[in-house]
């Protein structure tokens, strides 16, 4: 039942959006008593934490960073491109994460650590955390600006154009960040 609740919660979140999502609505879509959900999840934040774990697990499963796949910068680009796609796919859950930065989600920490490790192994930095934060903020900003297009179901050609533009800009940003190692 717990897995069924999680799957329905993800679908409802995608369909209704973060603002309209509630435990009561979730129970209604499942045709169960709301207390059944509370048996598995003590509150909405607990459910959301489980959703974060589930979708990040999917993210890591889909991520391929084999030893033979390019240098660390290329691996960093791969992670960031995949994260942007993931962020757009789960836009409402991503918004929830941005709005609740005080919560410590192990899956998010793992992603931050992975990006930091790739930055540090690419080139030694005076402040690698700042570089990571700049890159992640860029991903978030870009994905949020596109969230309207995604919700309106823009054409495949338009989405491909945005993805191509994103990749070009990301390459330039990484190049600039890696050239200017003394970010303050």
Same-domain check for residues 35 and 102: no
The CATH number of residue 1's host domain is 1.10.10.60
Number of structural domains (the chain) is 2
Contact 132, 53 (CB under 8 A): no
Q: pLDDT band at residue 70, thresholds of 50, 70 and 90?
A: low
pLDDT at 22 over 80: yes
What percent of the chain stands above pLDDT 70?
Answer: 84
The verdict on residue 5 lying in a domain is yes
Take residue 87 and report the two structure tokens written for it.
Answer: 């962020």
Mean pLDDT, the chain, integer = 83
CB atoms within 10 A of CB 71: 11
Distance between start and end Cα atoms, the chain: 50
Which domain does 77 fall in, by range?
Answer: 50-179
**pLDDT of 153:** 52
* Least confident segment among 35-49, 51-65, 145-159: 145-159
Same-domain check for residues 24 and 58: no
CB atoms within 10 A of CB 161: 12
């Amino acid at each position: 039942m717990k897995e069924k609740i999680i799957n329905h919660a993800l679908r409802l979140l995608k369909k209704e959006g973060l603002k309209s999502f509630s435990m009561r609505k979730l129970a209604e879509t499942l045709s169960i008593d709301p207390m059944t959900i509370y048996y598995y999840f003590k509150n909405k934040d607990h459910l959301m934490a489980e959703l974060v774990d589930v979708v990040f697990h999917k993210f890591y499963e889909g991520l391929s960073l084999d030893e033979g796949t390019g240098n660390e910068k290329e691996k960093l680009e791969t992670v960031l491109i995949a994260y942007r796609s993931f962020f757009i796919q789960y836009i409402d859950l991503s918004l929830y994460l941005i709005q609740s930065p005080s919560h410590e989600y192990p899956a998010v920490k793992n992603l931050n650590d992975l990006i930091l490790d790739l930055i540090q192994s690419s080139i030694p930095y005076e402040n690698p955390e700042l570089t990571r934060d700049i890159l992640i903020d860029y991903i978030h900003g870009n994905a949020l600006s596109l969230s309207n297009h995604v919700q309106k179901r823009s054409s495949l050609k338009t989405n491909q154009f945005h993805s191509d533009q994103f990749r070009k800009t990301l390459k330039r940003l990484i190049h600039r960040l890696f050239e200017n190692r003394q970010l303050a």
